[in-house]
Amino acid sequence: ADGYYLNTMGECVYSTSDYSDMVFLQSYSFNKVMELQYNSTLGKFVGFTEIGVKQAENLNKDQAILQQLKAQVDTNCRHNAQIWDPAVRDKT
């Protein structure tokens, strides 16, 4: 029970069938408190705590990381939605 808890979660969020509103979110939580989050619509990290703001400032200076995460919309989100959505939509 003693120790620290670190969690990273990636999400693909969209509501249209053509995926034009697709957003990739990568959230980083420490001890169940969300510290910072990458948002592909914004194209940058946003901090939610004092430490998260500092981390976001540093990460937003690294264009390689930002470009890699922004590419997740197409390489991960849109790609997988095109595979899985028809199976879900056909069941309704």
Residues 13, 25 contacting (CB under 8 angstroms): yes
Looking at residue 18, what is its pLDDT? 85
Give the confidence band of 85 by pLDDT, cuts at 50, 70, 90: confident
Rounded to an integer, what distance in angstroms lies between the CA atom of residue 69 and that of residue 16?
A: 22
Structural domain spans, the chain: 4-87
| 4-17 pLDDT per residue, tens | 899 999 999 998 88
pTM for this prediction: 0.85
- What is the topology classification, in CATH, of domain 4-87? 3.10.320
pLDDT above 70 coverage of the chain, percent: 95
pLDDT mean over 32-44 = 96
End-to-end CA distance of the chain: 43
Looking at residue 91, what is its pLDDT? 64
Higher pLDDT, 47 or 81: 47
**Is the pLDDT confidence value at 92 over 60?**
no
